[in-house]
Amino acid sequence: MAGFQNRKSALVRRFALAGTFLTALGSALNAEDVRDRVSYNLYGSPGLVDMPTAEVPPDATLAGTYANLSGTSRSTLYFQILPRLSGSFRYSAIENFLNGGTSTLFDRSFDLRYQLLTETDRRPSVVVGLKDFIGTGIYSGEYLVATKTLSPGLKFTGGFGWGRYGSHSPFATTGTRPGGFTGTGGLPEIDRFFRGDVAAFGGVSYAPHDRLNLKLEYSSDNYTREVQLGGLDKSSPWNFGVDYRFKNGGQLSVYHILGTEVGAQLTFVTNPKTVGIPGGSEPSGLPVAPRAPGAAADLGWTLDPQRSTSAKASLKQLAAKEGLEVEAVDLQSNRVTIRMVNPRYGAPSQAFGRMARAMTRALPASVEVFEIVPVVNGMAMSSVTFRRSDLERLEHDAANEMLARTVFADGFQQAPPPDQGIYPKFTWSVSPYLQLSVFDPDNPVRADVGLRAAADLEITPSLILSGSVTKKLNGNLDQVKRLDESNLPRVRTDNAQYSAQGDPAIEYLQLAHYGRPAKNVYSRVTVGYLEQMYGGLSAELLWKPATSRLAVGAEVNYIQRRDFDQLFGFQSMTTVDPVTGAKREIPNVNGHVSAYYAFGNGFHGQLDVGRYLAGDYGGTIALDREFANGWRIGAYATFTDASFDDFGEGSFDKGIRFTLPLASFFGQPSRRRNDVVIQSLSRDGGARLNVNGRLYEQVRDYHKPDVVNSWGRFWR
C-alpha cells in the first residue's frame, strides 16, 4: 500500500510539474483567435493525432467524424453536453482482429470527458476522460491531460494515461487492471478505471493561419493487439498530422502514425444552439394596430350583430394569411376568446405573437383582453391571455417584457366549440421512406427504402382515423439474422420476417380519441393496427398543469401480434426459438407509469416504469437537451428483470436520439421534423409498443415551461 501511495504521489507531482512547465512557457492569453479552434483526433474527440487534448469546444457543439487508419475505420459522434461535460459514441471496424487475425471486428464504444479546470492566463485547461468505458473494452483507457495556449495558434499538451493510453513506456503502476475484453459489452468497467500501467503522452499543435493546423505528438498507445495480429506495424511512438480547416469549423486531416502507417479523417461540426433558427427568412408578421385615443370606450358595435360577424371573419382571414387557423371566436364587449390551431410554427410563441397582432387589427377597440386557446387533436392545451394595451405599448421592447405580463392557465373548458362546417377534415400525403437497422455484426448498416402513402380523417376535432401504407422499392432488412436468441419471447427479433413478407404493408391503421376528462388531465384511446408488429387497444392518461415542469402519465395496452404480411390478419402470441425450438408466450397486456420533468436550460427527463412487450418488468430513463430552434439531442437506457445474458449483445437496451426540425434547413417555419434513433439491433428485452400520438409531446409544446424557451420569437 505504501508503494502505491508513493507512486500516486509521484504521479501527482509529475502532472503538477508538467502543468507548471506549460504555463511557464507562455504569457498572458491574447484575445481569442480563429486559429485556436478545437481540433479533433482519429477518435473524433478533441485531440492531436491519437492522443487527447484538454481543449473544449463551445457548449452544445455537435461533431461527426469518419477516420480510417490502415484498415481500421472509426465513425464518431461527439456532443458537448454541458460547458464542461462531453460524450462520444463511436462505431469502429477493425480488420484482422478476430479469429487469429482474419476477421473484422465491429465495435461500439462510449466516451466521457469532463473539464476540471478552465484555461486562464496562468494555468492550462485540465480534462479527465474515460474512453470506451461501457463498451467491450477494446479501446478502454483513462487519462488526465492539460493543454495551454501560448500564443494564437500555438498549443502545448501533456498528460498521463491508463489502459490503451498506458501501454507504451509506462513509468508507474496504480493497482491491477483486469485483462481481456468484455464479451457482450454495455456495462461500465469500473474495476478498470485508472488502474494498471501509467504512461505519459504529449504534443504540440501550431496553426500558422486559420486554414492550416500542424500537429506533433508522442503517443502512449502501443497498439499491442493490432500489431500482434498483423493488422498494423509500429516502429515509432511519434505521430504527425495536418488539418485543413473549413470555414464552418469542420476539418480534413492526414496523419502519419506509428512510424509506418498513414491515416485520414473528415470531421463536420455544427452547433444546435445557433444553427438554422426556424422561420429565419419568412416575411415578418403584421404590426400591432394601436387604438385611437378614447376608442376603447366605444361599445356601439355590440348593438350591431353584423359588425361582430365582420370582425370575426376579418380575424380568421388575417390568421389564415399567417398560416394559423381560427376555429371559433367568442367575442364579448371587452374580452375575446379564440380557438386556435397551429399547423405552421414550430415555436408556439411565434404563433401566439402573430395571432395577438392580428387580433389588434381585426377586433373592435373596446376589446382589451385577448385569450388564445391552442387546440391539438381537439384538446385545449392551455389558455394564454394578453392585454391589448400591453401589446400596443411593448411592441418595440424586449419580448421578456411581454412575457412578464402574459398569463398562462389550463385551457380546460376554455375554448369555444368549433364553428359549423369545419369538420370532418381529410389530409393525405405520399413521400419516400427509409428504415434503418444498424450494428448488425454481419453488416453494420441495413436499410429498406420505398414509398409511403399516409392519410388522416378528422371525423370530429378529437376523433381521428389515420393510417399509412408502404411499398418497398429496395432493401435488405429481410436479411437480418438473429440466431443468438434469448430466453424471452420473440417480440422484436422477427423483424426480418415482417420486412420480407410485408410488401406492400399497412404500417398502421387506427382510430384514436383524445379528450380532456378533467382539469390538468388529458386522455387518449387508440384502437386498430397500432404499429408494424402489433394491433389492439392502447389507453393513456396524462396529468400536466399548464405552468408546471412536472407531468405524470399512465398507459396500458392490450395487444395481438400481427401477421408477417402486415395486412389485415393476426397470428398466435406463441413464438418459437429457431435455435432450440422452445415456445414462449407474448403477454397480451403491457404498460407503463411515466414521469416527465423539465429541468431548465433545455433539459427534459423521462422515467417509464412498467411491463414491456416480452413480459419483463423494469424501467427506462431518458434525458434530452432541447434548443430554441427545435433541435433535440438525447439518450436513453432501459433496464429490466431480463438478465444481461438473456438480453444478449449489449447487455441492455440503450440508444442516442436526435430531432432535426425541417425549418432549420429550409429557413421557413414548419412543425415537421425528423426523429433519428441510433441503437443496436432491435432485441426482445426492454421492448416497448410503438404507438402514434402519445400525449406528452403534444401537450407540453403549448405549456408555459416550453413556450418560455422560445419566447424570443414572440415579436418575430
Specify the pairing of strand 335-341 against strand 369-376.
parallel
Same domain, 312 and 257: no
Q: Which three cell numbers stand for residue 509?
A: 391503421
| Three-point CA angle 386, 388, 389, nearest 5° | 115
Question: Is pLDDT at 6 greater than 50 in this prediction?
Answer: no
| Residue 715 resides in a domain | no
Q: What is the number of other CB atoms lying within 10 angstroms of the CB of residue 86?
A: 24
Same domain, 177 and 318: no
Same domain, 406 and 481: no
Q: Which helix (H) or strand (E) holds 430?
A: strand 425-440
Compute the mean pLDDT over every residue in the chain, rounded to the nearest whole number. Answer: 88
pLDDT for res 180: 67
pLDDT for res 364: 95
Between CA 541 and CA 593 the distance in angstroms is 10
Pick from 421, 446, 481: which residue ends a domain?
Answer: 421
Pick from 270, 304, 321: which residue ends a domain?
Answer: 270
Q: Is the dihedral of CA 682, 602, 285, 296 positive or negative?
A: positive
Mean pLDDT score, 57-61: 94
- DSSP letter, residue 140: -
| Residue 714 resides in a domain | no
Tens of pLDDT, residue by residue over 337-385, are 999 999 999 999 999 999 999 999 999 999 999 999 999 999 999 999 9
Q: Which amino acid is at 32?
A: E
Residue 560, strand partner residues: 535
Which band of pLDDT confidence, cut at 50, 70 and 90, is reported for residue 14?
very low
Domain interval for residue 570: 425-460+462-705
- The owner of cell 402470441 is 573
Same domain, 519 and 623: yes
Answer yes or no: are the C-beta atoms of 137 and 20 closer than 8 Å. Answer: no
- The owner of cell 397470428 is 571
pLDDT for res 28: 32
pLDDT for res 676: 84
Specify the pairing of strand 443-460 against strand 463-475.
antiparallel
Q: What are phi and psi of 147, to 5 degrees?
A: -135, 135
Same domain, 240 and 252: yes
Q: Which three cell numbers stand for residue 187?
A: 456495462
| Residue 283 resides in a domain | no
How many domains, the chain?
A: 3
Same domain, 126 and 147: yes
Q: What is the number of other CB atoms lying within 10 angstroms of the CB of residue 287?
A: 12
Mean pLDDT score, 296-309: 89
Same domain, 69 and 52: yes
Answer yes or no: are the C-beta atoms of 198 and 174 closer than 8 Å. Answer: yes
Q: What sections of 636-700 are H helices per DSSP? A: 644-647, 663-666, 695-700
Pick from 392, 421, 450: which residue ends a domain?
Answer: 421
Choose the most confident range, by mean pLDDT, from 88-97, 403-412, 638-647. 403-412
Q: Please state, for a pLDDT cut of 70, what percent of the chain lies above it.
A: 90
Q: Which amino acid is at 468?
A: S
Here the CATH number for the domain that contains residue 568 is 2.40.160
| Residue 45 resides in a domain | yes
Same domain, 405 and 518: no
Between CA 199 and CA 587 the distance in angstroms is 54
pLDDT for res 138: 86
Tens of pLDDT, residue by residue over 194-214, are 999 999 999 999 999 999 999
Q: What is the number of other CB atoms lying within 10 angstroms of the CB of residue 83?
A: 13
Mean pLDDT score, 503-520: 97
Is residue 496 classed as helix, strand or coil in its secondary structure?
Answer: helix
Question: Is pLDDT at 78 greater than 50 in this prediction?
Answer: yes
Answer yes or no: are the C-beta atoms of 637 and 623 closer than 8 Å. Answer: no
Between CA 150 and CA 327 the distance in angstroms is 64
pTM of structure: 0.87
Q: Which three cell numbers stand for residue 665?
A: 434547413
Q: Is the dihedral of CA 615, 616, 617, 619 positive or negative?
A: negative
- Longest CA span, the chain: 96
Same domain, 309 and 234: no
Q: Please state, for a pLDDT cut of 90, what percent of the chain lies above it.
A: 67
| Residue 290 resides in a domain | no
pLDDT for res 254: 97
| Residue 69 resides in a domain | yes
Question: Is pLDDT at 22 greater than 50 in this prediction?
Answer: no
Question: Is pLDDT at 24 greater than 60 in this prediction?
Answer: no
Mean pLDDT score, 630-659: 83
Between CA 447 and CA 472 the distance in angstroms is 10
Q: Which amino acid is at 532?
A: Q
Contacts 24+ apart (CB under 8 A), 311-318: 311/362, 311/363, 311/364, 314/361, 314/362, 315/358, 315/359, 315/362, 315/363, 318/286, 318/358, 318/361, 318/362
Please give the C-alpha separations between residue 435 and each of 320, 473, 494, 498, 532, in angstroms, as whole numbers: 36, 12, 15, 12, 12
Same domain, 266 and 395: no
Same domain, 442 and 559: yes
Same domain, 411 and 430: no
Question: Is pLDDT at 304 greater than 70 in this prediction?
Answer: yes
Specify the pairing of strand 382-387 against strand 425-440.
unpaired
Q: Which three cell numbers stand for residue 461?
A: 376535432
| Residue 528 resides in a domain | yes
Tell the burial category of 427 from Cβ atoms under 10 Å away from its Cβ (0-12, 13-18, 19+).
exposed
Q: Is the dihedral of CA 494, 497, 503, 509 positive or negative?
A: negative
| Residue 282 resides in a domain | no
Tens of pLDDT, residue by residue over 450-460, are 999 999 999 99
Is residue 146 classed as helix, strand or coil in its secondary structure?
Answer: strand
Tell the burial category of 6 from Cβ atoms under 10 Å away from its Cβ (0-12, 13-18, 19+).
exposed
Please give the C-alpha separations between residue 680 and each of 106, 285, 586, 694, in angstroms, as whole numbers: 12, 45, 22, 24
Q: Which helix (H) or strand (E) holds 376?
A: strand 369-376
**Higher pLDDT residue, 476 or 19?**
476
Question: Is pLDDT at 635 greater than 50 in this prediction?
Answer: yes
Here the CATH number for the domain that contains residue 323 is 3.30.300
Q: Give yes or no for a cis peptide into 424 (omega within 30° of 0).
A: yes
Q: Which three cell numbers stand for residue 251?
A: 476539418
Tens of pLDDT, residue by residue over 109-134, are 899 999 999 999 999 999 999 999 88
- The owner of cell 378529437 is 462
Which band of pLDDT confidence, cut at 50, 70 and 90, is reported for residue 5?
very low
Here the CATH number for the domain that contains residue 21 is 2.40.160.40
Mean pLDDT lowest among 15-29, 311-325, 467-481, 537-551: 15-29
